[in-house]
Chains A and B, each alone.
Chain A
Amino acid sequence: AQKVTQAQTEISVVEKEDVTLDCVYETRDTTYYLFWYKQPPSGELVFLIRRNSFDEQNEISGRYSWNFQKSTSSFNFTITASQVVDSAVYFCALSEAGTNAGKSTFGDGTTLTVKP
């Protein structure tokens, strides 16, 4: 069975601080996909990034960066110079491939609060 663990339930930082959200996953599949979503107070999950299991190259998008390490089954998300608008719940998700493509397991989320 697949499992996603986001050990940090809540994180609070002051604006402009850097913050890293941890994600650890478990799967027996060799091919899988990892995602990060942002859920602001409005409730809609907003897609941030998708990474497949064969691509361990880290990615940077503006203030966001992702560190995928297959050896430790982790897919961590870093926000540099955080802003108040970054306050939201962030979810990490793991999706199967092949015939079960689209079957996703989500972590329980990390609530990030950025204070001015």
Chain B
Amino acid sequence: EAGVVQSPRYKIIEKKQPVAFWCNPISGHNTLYWYLQNLGQGPELLIRYENEEAVDDSQLPKDRFSAERLKGVDSTLKIQPAELGDSAVYLCASSLGRGAGAQETQYFGPGTRLLVL
């Protein structure tokens, strides 16, 4: 079974440019997560989707970050405009999502390493 797929794996851009990351979760997984991981730190949740609904986006900097999961499958995370401090690894994860009360194990993709110059 294929794991979580992310692209691109690496991205180098200049500040103020836009950038987008794509994630395809494990087939059948209804819950999708985007995390930010700074060097030497653990992942921090940006947004969580249950199917196509964003159920937790409280940590997403909405002035420059946006995300979508239009058909409840793959998802795109966008930054516009990028700032130097956005340099980090952006991780996508998915879980089965059996609904409230059920805790599902999250499976992670390889991440996209972003460098903003």
Contacts and interface: CB of A to CB of B under 8 A. Distances in A.
B110 A102 contact: no
Interface in B14-60: 31, 33, 40-45, 48, 56
A101 B106 contact: no
A109 B42 contact: yes
B103 A108 contact: no
Contact of B100 (A42, A52, A98): A98
Nearest to B42: A106
A56 to B, nearest CB: 17
B103 A44 contact: no
Interface string A43-79: 1111100101000000000000000000000000000
Contacts of A107: 42
Interface residues on A, range: 20 to 34
B40 A106 contact: no
A42 B3 CA distance: 14
Contacts of A88: none
A104 B106 contact: yes
Given A102-B31, A102-B48, A44 B108 contact: yes
Contacts of B93: 45
Contacts of B100: 98-99, 101
9 contacts: A44-B109, A44-B110, A47-B105, A47-B107, A95-B103, A98-B101, A100-B56, A103-B48, A104-B106
- List 3 tightest A-B contacts by C-beta distance, closest first: A106-B42, A45-B108, A44-B110
Given A47-B106, A98-B101, 6 more contacts: A43-B111, A44-B110, A45-B108, A98-B100, A102-B95, A103-B45
